[in-house]
Amino acid sequence: MEEILIEDYNYPLPDERIAKYPLAMRDQSKLLIYRDGKVNEDTFCHVGEYLNADSLLIYNNTRVIQARLEFHKKVVQEVRSFGVTSGPLNSEVTQGARIEIFCLEPLEPHDYQLSLGSTEGCTWKCMIGNAKKWKSGALSLPVQLPSGETIILFAEKGEQTGNTFAVHFWWNTPASNLSPLASHLSFAEILDAVGELPIPPYLNRKTEESDKTTYQTVYSRIKGSVAAPTAGLHFTDNVLNGLRQKGIQTAEVTLHVGAGTFQPVKVADANQHTMHTEIIAVPRQTIQQIIANLGHIVAVGTTSMRTLESLYFLGEQLLHHSTQPLHHSTRPLSVAQFAPYEREHTLSTREALQAIVAYMDATGQDVLHAETQIMIKPGYTFRVVDQLITNFHQPKSTLLLLVSAFVGGDWHTIYDYALSHDFRFLSYGDSSILTRATKH
């Protein structure tokens, strides 16, 4: 595999160019337009002018959860009453080290909706801040409910894998003399009550109340992400209605964005970087819409792009295993990081997508659930997406590699223009609409 020097995907990004807050009106952000090596700019509310009337716009409907929890260890000290120099000691409980638990993805139940909907307990893969101070034992955190009642959330640290831990959570049971409503509280409701929305670390500020609204897309509805699919933050109901009035169709996919989206490439050769695995869900109707609109597919954001391009390789797997149907397997469908580059792929996009529909029909599924670790980098052949709406990404990131692949290596033209024309960068920054290079 040809070496990809990550230093070739570096550029100067002054701190003042990183948007710390969004604009007051989402759709008034700047819009860079790139097609055939030429760059122009407009305002995002006019994005429909750069889409064909027969386009299919596909966005990621994931919703960011308040995944960051702050616990404190309890320290028990033996003390004597004031003025007493002898006699029995009394126990005094004080607040100890701060332990931050960042929920990344569910382990048990593994399904996001089942885990977030659990009313008894669940186990998540987590990053733990100050983990060395948490040797053993359960941590507890009071959670005040909107009803005024208080329950206790408990957390117990399990097995470590790399820099993450399995953490088991549980909370008060019905025997706690709570109201029936409080007794059946879900983990999602607990996170809403006591968790903190995990805004990107490069904003260098604490989460504010306004982020609970501004760091969600207007169409977000499926809880599970720990980072927003930020290309969608520019859309408003007015923009979406305008697109539909023009005849542009819309469709949804789900990819729950993990913390790996902020993981920089720390190796000289990008091929040595390990991509994070993400869970995707694509409705049968969306796949049928794609088949009907091939050649006019617009992905809103790199998460939608990764989901849509993964479909080709999932369909290829299904046809390859046609003599031994995969629905007899307990393993989920998945796309490996370098699957697109390991051999020649001669199947047409239409054939691959039709294979998925046939598989879903045979197994009675309305939604395709799978995993993807796909790495889209220079040399990749795009099979589904024709236009990409996306923000401006960090230097030396896998997302910049994806953009470079999509525009045939011409990413410098786009980023040089954005830097010299006062565009705002990263999650709360401005947007772009890119048309796929005719040659890859």
pLDDT level of residue 2 (50, 70, 90 thresholds): confident
pLDDT at site 179: 58
**Buried residues in 232-243 as b, exposed as e (16+ CB within 10 A):** bbbbbeebbebb
Does residue 176 carry a pLDDT above 90? no
Task: Give the CB-side neighbour count of residue 376, counting CA atoms within 13 A.
Answer: 27
Cα separation, 162 vs 164, in Å, equals: 6
* Cα–Cα distance list, 417 to 371, 420, 428 (Å): 36, 5, 18
pLDDT level of residue 174 (50, 70, 90 thresholds): very low
Cα separation, 256 vs 325, in Å, equals: 27
Does residue 297 carry a pLDDT above 90? yes
Average of pLDDT values for 316-340? 75
Does residue 183 carry a pLDDT above 60? no
For the stretch 22-42, pLDDT in tens is 999 999 999 999 999 999 999
pLDDT at site 440: 42
pLDDT > 70 in the chain, percent: 89
* Cα–Cα distance list, 164 to 42, 259, 372 (Å): 43, 11, 20
pLDDT level of residue 94 (50, 70, 90 thresholds): low
- Whether 390 contacts 430, CB under 8 Å: no
pLDDT level of residue 96 (50, 70, 90 thresholds): confident
pLDDT at site 77: 46
For the stretch 192-246, pLDDT in tens is 999 999 999 899 999 999 999 999 999 999 999 999 999 999 999 999 999 999 9
Strands across the sheet with 431-435, in order? 38-43, 30-35, 431-435, 387-391, 297-300, 56-60, 249-255, 278-283, 367-372, 333-335
Does residue 285 carry a pLDDT above 70? yes
Cα separation, 233 vs 385, in Å, equals: 20
Q: Which amino acid is at 62?
A: T
419: which residues sit within 8 A by CB, 6+ positions away? 11, 12, 17
Cα separation, 133 vs 126, in Å, equals: 16
pLDDT level of residue 416 (50, 70, 90 thresholds): very high
- Whether 225 contacts 105, CB under 8 Å: no
Does residue 350 carry a pLDDT above 50? yes
pLDDT at site 173: 54
- pTM score: 0.90
For the stretch 132-158, pLDDT in tens is 999 888 999 999 887 788 889 999 999
Cα separation, 384 vs 437, in Å, equals: 13
**Selection from 427, 373, 428, 383 nearest residue 405 by Cα:** 383
Does residue 258 carry a pLDDT above 90? no
Burial of 167 (0-12, 13-18, 19+ CB in 10 A): buried
- Whether 357 contacts 396, CB under 8 Å: no
Average pLDDT of the chain is 90
Lowest-confidence pick of 173-177, 254-258, 263-267, 411-415: 173-177
